[in-house]
Amino acid sequence: MSDKDLLQMFKVVAERVDKKSFADITRESVITDLGVDSLSMMQIVGEMETELDLQIPDEDLVEIVTVGDLCAKIENRMGA
C-alpha cells in the first residue's frame, strides 16, 4: 500500500469517526492540531488496523504525533 493510499485511508476513517472534513491532511499534519482527541484517535487506529488486518502495539501508539508517524507504524507492521 502506498503512502498516498494510507493518507487517503486516514482521511476517510478520520472523517467518518469525527464527522468533519479533513481536506488538507499531509504526513506532517499534527493529529492534535487537526482537532482529533485521544478517543477519536483510538477509534481511527482501530478501524485502520481492522481494515488492514494488522495490530499496532500499544507502546507504539504513544509515539504517534503526526499522521506520518501513524503511516510509518502501519508501513512497518505491513512489512513485518
- The catalytic residue positions are 37
Report d(CA 44, CA 18) in Å as an integer: 9
Phi then psi dihedrals of residue 30, to 5 deg: -80, 125
Q: Would you say 43 and 16 are in contact if contact means Cβ atoms under 8 Å apart? A: no
